[in-house]
Amino acid sequence: MKSIDSRLRKLLGHAPKHYFDDKIASHRGYWGERLISQLVFAHELSKVQGGRHAALIERALTFAEERIEDEGFIARQAALQAEGLLGALAHEAKSYEILCVAHAHIDMNWMWSWDETVSIVIDTFRTMLNLMNEYPDFTFSQSQASIYRIVEKHAPDMLAEIKERVREGRWEVTASHWVEADKNMPSGESLSRHLLYTKRYLARLFDLDPDGLNLDFEPDTFGHSVHVPEILANGGVGYYYHCRGNDEQVLYRWVAPSGKSVIAYREPTWYNDYAQAALGSYVPEISRRTGLKTYLNVYGVGDHGGGPTRRDLERLKDMNDWPIYPRIRFGTYAEYFKQVESIADKLPVVTGEQNFVFTGCYTSQSRIKTANRAGEAALNEAETFASAASVATGIDYPSASFEEAWRDVLFNQFHDILPGSGVLETREHALGLFQNAMAIAGTNRKLALEAIAASIDTSGLGVEDDKRTISEGAGVGFGASEFMPTQVERGRGSTRIVHFFNSSAHDREETAEIVLWDWNEPGRSPVVRDSGGNETPHQVVDQGFNKYWGHRYMRLLVQAKAPACGYSTYTVSEGDEAWTPFLPTDPRVDRVEAFELENERLRVTFHPVNATIVSMIDKTTGEQLVDPSRPAGLFRLIQEDPGKGMSSWWVGRYMNVSSVHENVKLKWGGKGPVRQTLQYELEFGRSKLKVAVSLDRGSSRLDFRAECDWHEIGTADSSIPQLNFHWPLGYECDSYQYDVPFGTTERKPLDMDVPANSWAIGLRRDSGKPGKPGKPSLMLVTNNKYGFRGTDRSLSLSLIRSSYDPDPYPELGNHHRMSFAIDLVDPTSSVRERIEKAYRFNHPFSAFSGTPHPGALALDSGFLKLTEGTVAVSAVKMPEDREGKRWIVRAYETDGRRTTASLLLFAKPIAAYFVDTNERRISPAESVCLDDRSVSFDVEAYSAATICVEFQ
């Protein structure tokens, strides 16, 4: 005899695919669907109970089969009779509940333009409000603060209607983030700002308790980083709804490495559909797995908005009356998770990242990736120095404009924008928002630096007052395209004052660039001195040949120092020696040219034919860090298999991998006491690549700066072209370390792209183990890429991918400027030190032109310095309420052990205390300690902590 399963599957062929299918013209479709759906539910219920009701179901099923055999369909009377045969199950069936939560998934600019997104929101919400007027028990839930901002700005009258429904409890505001964001590529600070700005905005807009905004609704997000529960818990979010990244648990407790957790619900079906009779079939098994008799059904047409339809509501109301079926009612996420709390201690525990999904999204539409990293970096620096300037000089802190800029950056982190899975209009709007964010961040940073510089006492630096100069005001806008403070000249004459600003919480010494405008030429060679009058190593990059909007400039490289979160002062003046004359360069003797870069730490040898790196010697140990059989520093053209489709989302199988190092044009770009640079050019396919490889004085970091004019096109019929940087390791490597939001994670070798915020390290197998000599591992760090691959004792970085859908030409043009580096990582270094290495690469010194004047600040000074503790400082800002002279400082523990973080401040604070991400004071067991200018506080392993420091 056939099983009940197979017989039900056969019966399902007699029912329409969708309940109340429009093609069914008579009641026979409805009654057949109704009966079969109840039979399926009863069978699933029996199965989870070990076949307890099999006999009962057998009788009703046989009856249904006979009616179909005799009459060809299920009539009303037959359905009612069969329901009667199942009547003994009615009470138990109604002990189960389907809680229907209506939602309209609205993708921000996914396959359309911004104006269409605005229309989608307003049209969808009008539909929901109309349905609420007709169905008094209908409830609706909507996420994303950005959506409510659309209504506030474009349909304020509608906002008043929504507010009334919110007050009634029928419209549930489920947003705790500005958008449904990517969770792998944004920084931990960005994810914290989603919480801060969203809760403040929505609490004010709807008069809500911010503690009630405790759900992170991420139905379509492409994976979830390991420290997300820590970030959410610190922001007052306890619940997480998602669909991707986990294919095992449905309801579970997701625990961060810190031990903080959220209750997570992984959608077992889908969040984007009509209400269907198949709902009942899921209930028994999902209930068994979750421990709840309530099944959460998220319904409503989405992606392009729409939400639930009138038919959905009528269906659900009707299905609730079916006798052998769960109770059905309209409700909210808050109701569901309140029930979950009753079994919270019984939930399975899940640790680790919930990845990987759509690996192509770590690289696709690369300009949006650049915009995200640059925006985050500029806002970090601008807030740091604006906070310092406000307390030290009294200027106003522009919190409102910072929030505007952050909103733009956060909007672009939507899970179809930052991942690059949108269309041309998506990209255009994102880059427009980026320009606005950079205008705000750049202006606020410049005004802060100006205020600090104006307060530095430079009166004793001996700068002459030359009124015949044209240099003042030269260079307006110069550097903005590199996302740096603009290099406008404020000095004049042959002696110039330059301030170097360091946004890191650590003292630094590194190579920095100065741009001198209309400087005394032809004249004597420049001399660079620090604030004590000591000459500083420097190197002329070029002299006087560069023209820029009516002015001429030259660039100097300087071995500079700057205190933590502070600045230093240098002067550039004429030396005693004249410029070296340009002598004839025709060769007198031919010699074999060695293409090597060498400093105190490294000696790097390039192949003279193809410019790959054939040797890299660590001069402190004499070790060869490159595998001689596998050249390093290799740019590769990869042809990905397009067979899986969705080329923006997926990195295809590598069909062909080839080096592009042919017919290389190789030359020196500079060889001086501060920096050595080798340049080469490559041509491949229809594209060109220019590369400059540099090694700075005393540095363990080999820098690559590449510019690509990319014209490779991917198609479904051919391949997906990818430009890739590859570095084989010269040592055994079994695991790789990556930086992720608010921390790091280790992963085994994986032959697939994986996400990192900015770096990956191939961890040496025996490094740092007892009895083994400590030898360095290699770090690959980048300033605008996110897709890494660590496998086969190598590190790779995906640079450009020509995906073809939904944007057929996402990368064409000469706009690809990329910087990345290979750095040595000492085996005894802390993770904090590794994070600091990457921070320095992504946040170089900012040079700022100064003038002579008296002031209250010293020539060199720092505002905040981390003196103790394995923590990384992620933010220095002022509170959003702007009351008093106060700083918000956020830091996260990096090395997996409880630590005491100590900060040395420029002024003595009068109070300090812990606050949460939302900047509300909290009272943990231990307090923040003050000792003169020092502030100390304990941070648990892998935790983030935020403190508020008050000044007089």
At 424-457, the pLDDT tens digits run 999 999 999 999 999 999 999 999 999 999 999 9
> Could you confirm whether domain 596-845 is CATH 2.70.98.30?
yes
**What's the pLDDT at 522?**
56
**What's the pLDDT at 846?**
97
**What's the pLDDT at 24?**
35
Tokens coding 514: 């100065």
Percent of the chain with pLDDT over 90: 87
pLDDT in tens, 718-762: 999 999 999 999 999 999 999 999 999 999 999 999 999 999 999
**What's the pLDDT at 18?**
39
**Superfamily name with CATH number, domain 470-577:** Golgi alpha-mannosidase II (2.60.40.1180)
CB 326 within 8 A of CB 316: no
pLDDT band at residue 188 using 50, 70 and 90 as cut-offs: very high
C-alpha to C-alpha distance for 153 and 941, rounded to whole angstroms:
43
pLDDT band at residue 26 using 50, 70 and 90 as cut-offs: very low
360-455 belongs to which CATH class?
Answer: mainly alpha
**What's the pLDDT at 463?**
87
Place of tokens 């008799």: 293
Mean pLDDT across the stretch 21-39? 70
- Find all residues with CB under 8 Å of 339, minimum gap 6, and list them: 292, 294
**What's the pLDDT at 169?**
98
**What's the pLDDT at 583?**
52
pLDDT band at residue 926 using 50, 70 and 90 as cut-offs: confident
Tokens coding 722: 């990818």
DSSP E strand stretches across 836-878 = 846-850, 861-862, 864-868, 871-877
Going from the C-alpha of 753 to that of each of 630, 738, 757, 789, the distances in angstroms are: 21, 12, 13, 5
**What's the pLDDT at 525?**
86
**What's the pLDDT at 686?**
97
pLDDT band at residue 271 using 50, 70 and 90 as cut-offs: confident
Tokens coding 140: 């609706």
Indicate if the pLDDT at residue 782 is higher than 60.
yes
pLDDT in tens, 622-647: 999 999 899 999 999 999 999 999 99
The Cβ of residue 648 has, within 10 Å, a number of other Cβ atoms equal to 25
- Find all residues with CB under 8 Å of 375, minimum gap 6, and list them: 405, 408, 409, 412, 434, 437, 438, 441
**What's the pLDDT at 190?**
99
148 three-class SS: helix
C-alpha to C-alpha distance for 170 and 165, rounded to whole angstroms:
6
Mean pLDDT across the stretch 345-350? 97
Indicate if the pLDDT at residue 172 is higher than 80.
yes
**What's the pLDDT at 591?**
78
Indicate if the pLDDT at residue 465 is higher than 90.
no
280 — phi, psi (to 5°)?
-60, -30
pLDDT band at residue 17 using 50, 70 and 90 as cut-offs: very low
227 — phi, psi (to 5°)?
-95, 10
Q: Chain-centre distance of CA 626, in angstroms?
A: 32
Assign a CATH topology to domain 105-357. 7-stranded beta/alpha barrel (3.20.110)
**Superfamily name with CATH number, domain 863-952:** Golgi alpha-mannosidase II (2.60.40.1180)
DSSP string spanning 257-304? TTS-EEEEEE-SS-SS----TTHHHHHHHHHHHHS-SEEEEEE-B-BB
Average pLDDT, the chain: 94
